[in-house]
Chains A and B, each alone.
Chain A
């Protein structure tokens, strides 16, 4: 499966998203729509997006992302676990 959302924390139904190309070219073609460049402060994440803390690329899934999910960042090859931060935002932590 090409989607970076590798393991869901729970099985309840999730909102679906149709992904379009974002101009991100740093991974092989079939994976490109799953990533986009982070625009820095002022940029916001959609329900199906999480920021990679290692390489600052936005990881996008065709499904909504929730805390406890496991995602993969292909540009820096990090395996990440999604958590909810103190401020209520979704964040990714590296799973060493």
Chain B
């Protein structure tokens, strides 16, 4: 077992995660916290929260299927054990985001039909590209697709959502901060494990790079759809925030990547997120010895 893998142990996971930052949380946030009334009281904002949470559930279900599938494809014991902890993390993410749908007023009996109806087709296609590699037992492609592409995207999306919600909706921001902490381990494992494996399998590079290009295309198309659909809700939230805190736009606002999220137009937010994720892909892939492929614009 490669030496660095000893750190990705179940013991370490227990100490930092369930006995650490998740201690005394309920569905990822402090007991007694509830969704912000600004979200619950506005039909437009509540609908938008449901729509975007559905995409989180779909993404996390993909990560759950991928990480559990990778356990049997892993060539060594250490990776299998780490992926078992990741499988539980991803199952927890599915659970906390599903719980959020219930907290937003979705009835249990409506859950599955709602997820099916609102899942973005491009996000579903993004998951299919990855799960196809994993079904074939392709560990190297599977880890790049999951721990670099899928999680690189999730990590950045969660950070943006956290910045948006930290003032406005602390309960959801707290749920997100636990998932961000989990993602740090997942991206860490991805880079550290694959960095050495890619060197041993240069013949796999071209195929993996094609996968990245395809997944990136579906990701950009998902972002485009999401921001277009939620534009009215985003503008309403920005308006409420400016009105309720009585400040000038941008004076007391959430900032991310040096930009003020309370004043950006939805399409500016979309390009900020897309550029950030693609830049992140490029840096991470170059580090492990892969050539980033620019996706076709959707």
Contact = CB atoms under 8 A, between A and B. Distances in A.
Interface in A33-78: 40-42, 53-55, 57, 73-78
B258 A75 contact: no
A53 B155 CA distance: 13
B144 to A, nearest CB: 14
A26 interface: yes
A73 B188 contact: yes
Given A40-B255, A40-B257, A41-B257, A76 B187 contact: yes
A26 B184 contact: yes
Contacts of A76: 184-185, 187-188
A34 B97 CA distance: 31
B188 A78 contact: yes
B187 A55 contact: yes
A40 B4 CA distance: 29
Contact of B192 (A27, A28, A40, A77): A77
B287 A40 contact: no
A57 B21 CA distance: 15
Nearest to A76: B188
Q: How large is the interface on A (under 10, 10 to 19, 20 to 34, 35 or more residues)?
A: 20 to 34
B188 A96 contact: no
Contacts of B246: none
B191 interface: yes
Interface string B171-196: 00000000001011101110110011
A42 B195 CA distance: 31
A9 interface: no
Given A25-B20, A28-B15, A41-B257, A77 B189 contact: yes
A94 interface: yes
B8 interface: yes
Contacts of A74: 16
Interface string B230-264: 00000000000000000000000001111000000
Interface string B21-33: 1000000000000
Nearest to B192: A78
Contact of A77 (B7, B181, B183, B255): B7
Contacts of A75: 16, 181, 184-185, 188
B283 interface: yes
Given A41-B258, A77-B8, 12 more contacts: A26-B21, A26-B181, A26-B184, A28-B16, A41-B257, A53-B287, A55-B183, A75-B16, A75-B185, A76-B184, A77-B7, A94-B191
Interface of A: 25-28, 40-42, 53-55, 57, 73-79, 94, 96
26 contacts: A25-B20, A26-B20, A26-B21, A26-B181, A27-B20, A28-B15, A28-B19, A40-B255, A40-B257, A53-B287, A54-B187, A54-B188, A54-B191, A73-B188, A74-B16, A75-B181, A75-B184, A76-B184, A77-B7, A77-B12, A77-B185, A78-B192, A79-B4, A94-B191, A96-B191, A96-B196
